[in-house]
């Protein structure tokens, strides 16, 4: 099952690599985990949404990599400032003027480094596609998390835990800022989550477990109490809880929802937890989107 899309651009020279990293930081991207090993170094940058598009027919001249932004003017000004600070007037010539497209959008193309062109665009109609709303960002940098995971049905919950860690780490969380707590089964998840949340030492909790109807005669009674307990913990403490407790009819169905065919619900629960921490902070700061 597809989890994400990554676009890799090779920078042969270290100085070019460092300047590109600096540019994308200046333009406002959230940093990802990146990597560094014996043979290569990678800097990653995150966006809330990603997609792959194929185009046929009339279309404006744009770069292969396009970024949608909330304010084209702010992105343009940030790009211009960076170019001027890292190359002066000669570098600013690699910044194209914003132009209108025939699909009700404005866009500009910039080359922070020669040969590395990127197009930034924004809808001219702010209501295009969806209402204006405050949304959380998928950057976990500086956030602290706890993952409460049930040992029962470990063949499933271990996959959920792997997905949750993947989401947190690739979104910028540090491994030392992630606490993992294992409990016997899904029934015990709410109690552990509440205890952690009451300490107010983490920004969010990811709850993971698996209930399979065919293995548990009192399946519905357990699920109702588990979901109620997790929801109550979130309401009482104000700490966001990502809900990743599976309720399935069969083992095959559970495996599919743990990364085989239908995505990984642990990854989704962790992503929701990151976004809710971001939304909570924005609300606390006065509603700045």
Residues with a known catalytic role = 218
Joined tokens for residue 147: 């993952």
**Integer Cα distance of 249 and 216 in angstroms:** 10
Indicate the DSSP class of residue 98: P
Burial track 26-62 (b if 16+ CB lie within 10 A, e otherwise)? bbebbbbbeeeeeeeeebbbbeeeeeeeeeeeeeeeb
C-beta separation of 170 from 32 below 8 A: yes
The strand ranges marked E within 170-262 are: 178-183, 204-212, 241-248
**Beta-bridge mates of residue 258:** 264
Cβ neighbours of 287 (radius 10 Å): 8
- Nearest Cα neighbor of 34 from 176, 170, 138 is 170
- Nearest Cα neighbor of 206 from 249, 137, 155, 150 is 150
C-beta separation of 21 from 13 below 8 A: no
- Nearest Cα neighbor of 233 from 197, 204, 269, 186 is 197
Indicate the DSSP class of residue 151: S
**Integer Cα distance of 61 and 74 in angstroms:** 22
Contacts of 137 (CB under 8 A, 6+ apart): 30, 48, 275, 278
């Amino acid at each position: 099952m597809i989890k994400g899309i990554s676009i890799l651009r090779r920078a042969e020279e270290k100085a070019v690599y460092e300047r590109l990293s600096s540019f994308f930081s200046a333009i406002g991207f959230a940093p990802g985990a990146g990597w560094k090993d014996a043979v290569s170094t990678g800097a990653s940058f995150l966006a809330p949404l990603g997609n792959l598009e194929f185009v046929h027919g009339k279309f404006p001249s744009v770069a292969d990599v396009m970024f949608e932004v909330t304010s084209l003017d702010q992105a343009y000004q940030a790009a211009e400032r960076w170019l001027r600070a890292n190359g002066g007037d000669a570098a600013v010539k690699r910044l194209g003027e914003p132009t209108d497209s025939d699909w009700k959008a404005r866009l500009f193309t910039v080359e922070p480094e020669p040969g590395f062109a990127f197009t930034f665009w924004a809808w001219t109609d702010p209501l295009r596609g969806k209402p204006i709303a405050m949304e959380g960002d998928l950057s976990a940098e500086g956030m602290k998390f706890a993952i409460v995971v049930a040992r029962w049905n470990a063949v499933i919950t271990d996959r959920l835990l792997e997905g949750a860690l993947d989401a947190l780490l690739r979104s910028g969380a540090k491994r030392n800022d992630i606490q993992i707590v294992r409990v016997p089964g899904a029934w015990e998840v709410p109690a552990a989550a509440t205890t952690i949340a009451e300490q107010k030492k983490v920004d969010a909790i990811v709850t993971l477990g698996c209930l399979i109807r065919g293995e548990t005669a009192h399946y519905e009674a357990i699920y109702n109490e588990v979901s109620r307990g997790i929801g109550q913990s979130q309401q009482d403490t104000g700490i966001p809880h990502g809900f990743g407790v599976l309720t399935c009819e069969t083992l095959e169905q559970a495996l599919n929802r743990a990364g085989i065919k239908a995505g990984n619900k642990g990854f989704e629960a962790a992503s929701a937890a990151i976004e809710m921490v971001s939304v909570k902070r924005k609300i606390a700061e006065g509603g700045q989107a």
